[in-house]
């Protein structure tokens, strides 16, 4: 039976070491993906794992179109000067007080490979009408990377790269972002575009990084009305959250998008920060419900792994969301797990 789940991955992402803060808390580090991969491997649905082998010139062309060439060059040159024990920062990094987005020798390459994984997943949907869902599980993430800035563990904007590919193919595309932090980079890139819709559900920007994504930010010029920010109060109830999700779905439906990109972040999970008041009350079953509701929209969809930094929580939340989406979209389960390729160590 042909594979139903298609996962795109940059297997050498560990070359970008990521950030462990001064208190020893790991953030976007390689181990974050290992748990997610293991959780997906435990499923019974047939899965095709696609390890992206190289960065194609088309990927670099889109990255260069969306991001300032000067910024791209700065990231590259900073990586040449950095070492694994001495990561460095470029002038385009907005994380002024931490090394959250510090550059290692492998950062530039793996940021491009992460964009490549999202673009390959988008191309698979464009080139095969039978595919209904593709998934990019890669790092570093991307939604905080704008035209001339980056921060929040992000360097190049994976969702924007995929959206641009759909747009260049003459398609209308909607991006739904439910990371608890606003995707200021996605908004910055597409706020003046008429063919790309960006909808974001995120915690109160007056309280939470990056302090953008207020409800009155709706797009500019030709893009007026193509940004829908749905900020919510800290500790929002699940009932209120799903009301906002319904508003997001209605906006996507009215936009008439041909493809849906989901920036799937799980850093709003109720167990993300043990001992602290939760930003939301969403647990695994709620993320499964989010997936189910989005799957019922019956759109050809690319899911991109976003935030979520509790390594004991994020894998189950992400897998629950994916399973929920597959249930809602009526993607058939199978009795035995199979894989057409073996993931490297």
Residue 344: band (very low, low, confident or very high) from pLDDT cuts 50, 70, 90: very low
The mean pLDDT value for 197-214 works out to 98
Structure tokens at 287: 């993320």
Rounded to the nearest 10°, the torsion over CA 104, 6, 312, 105 is 0
pLDDT exceeds cutoff 70 at 343? no
pTM comes to: 0.95
Q: Of 9, 144, 181, 182, which one is the catalytic site residue?
A: 144
5-328: which CATH topology?
A: 3.40.800
Structure tokens at 116: 């490549």
Which pLDDT score, from 0 to 100, does residue 332 have? 56
Catalytic residue at 182? no
The values of phi and psi at residue 312, to 5°, are -90, -10
pLDDT exceeds cutoff 90 at 26? yes
Residue 68: band (very low, low, confident or very high) from pLDDT cuts 50, 70, 90: very high
Domain ranges of the chain: 5-328
The mean pLDDT value for 31-41 works out to 94
Interior/surface letters 178-196, b for 16+ CB within 10 angstroms, e for the rest: bbbbbbbbbbbbbbebebb
Q: What is the mean pLDDT of the chain?
A: 93
153: left (phi over 0), alpha (psi -120 to 50) or beta: left
Render pLDDT for 217-263 as a digit per residue (tens, 0 to 9): 999 999 999 999 999 999 999 999 999 999 999 999 999 999 999 99
* More confidently predicted of 296 and 342: 296
The mean pLDDT value for 53-64 works out to 96
Structure tokens at 152: 């929040």
Q: Helix H segments across 152-215?
A: 158-168, 184-190
């Amino acid at each position: 039976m042909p594979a139903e789940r298609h996962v795109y991955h940059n297997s050498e992402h560990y070359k970008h070491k990521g950030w462990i803060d001064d208190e020893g808390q790991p953030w976007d580090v390689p181990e974050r993906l290992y748990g997610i991969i293991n959780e997906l491997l435990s499923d019974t649905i047939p899965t095709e794992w696609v390890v992206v082998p190289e960065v194609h010139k088309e990927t670099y062309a889109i990255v260069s179109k969306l991001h300032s060439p000067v910024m791209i060059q700065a990231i590259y040159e900073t990586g040449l000067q950095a070492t694994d024990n001495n990561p460095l920062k470029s002038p385009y990094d907005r994380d002024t007080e931490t090394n959250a987005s510090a550059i290692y020798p492998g950062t530039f390459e793996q940021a491009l490979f992460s964009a490549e994984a999202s673009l390959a997943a988008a191309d698979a949907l464009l080139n095969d009408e039978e595919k209904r869902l593709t998934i990019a599980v890669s790092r570093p993430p991307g939604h905080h990377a704008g035209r001339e800035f980056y921060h929040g563990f992000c360097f190049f904007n994976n969702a924007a790269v995929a959206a641009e590919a759909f747009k260049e193919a003459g398609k209308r595309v909607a991006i739904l972002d439910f990371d608890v932090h606003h995707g200021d980079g996605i908004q910055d890139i597409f706020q003046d575009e008429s063919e790309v819709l960006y909808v974001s559900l995120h915690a109160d920007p007056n309280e939470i990084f990056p302090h953008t994504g207020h409800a009155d930010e709706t797009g500019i010029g030709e893009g007026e009305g193509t940004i829908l920010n749905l900020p919510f109060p800290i500790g929002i109830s699940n009932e209120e959250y799903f009301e906002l999700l319904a508003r997001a779905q209605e906006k996507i439906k009215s936009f008439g998008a041909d493809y849906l990109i989901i920036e799937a972040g799980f850093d709003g999970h109720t167990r993300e920060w043990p001992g602290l008041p939760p930003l939301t009350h969403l647990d695994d079953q709620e993320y499964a419900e989010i997936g189910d509701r989005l799957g019922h929209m019956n759109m050809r969809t690319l899911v991109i792994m976003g935030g979520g930094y509790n390594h004991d929580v994020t894998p189950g939340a992400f897998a629950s969301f994916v399973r929920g989406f597959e249930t809602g979209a009526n993607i058939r389960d199978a009795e035995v797990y199979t894989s057409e390729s073996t993931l490297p160590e």
